[in-house]
Amino acid sequence: MKEQKWIQEGLITESLPNGMFRIRLDNDDLILGYVSGKIRRSFIRILPGDRVKIEVSRYDSTRGRIIYRLRNKDSKD
């Protein structure tokens, strides 16, 4: 059986080396996130201030995988 994952939304607060980001989730938890393969392959730019969807493992809730960058209303992308 495959491992169950939680999908949550959050805000990128800080960009770290090697494609890692500090993310503040909507429930005010701070989490360490890394870019998933599809986002890395399609060269989607993630910057501090972006809202993202993140996939969090039930076993380690301190890190997760960024699976989607949500569109901002004020940016032109």
* pLDDT tens figures, 19-43: 899 999 999 999 999 999 888 899 8
Task: Decide if 77 contacts 71 (C-beta within 8 A).
Answer: yes
| Homologous superfamily of 6-69 | Nucleic acid-binding proteins (2.40.50.140)
Q: Give the start-to-end residue ranges of the domains of the chain.
A: 6-69
pTM of the predicted model, to two decimals? 0.83
- Tens of pLDDT, residue by residue over 43-71, are 889 999 999 999 999 899 999 999 999 98
**Tokens 């993202």 map to which residue?**
52
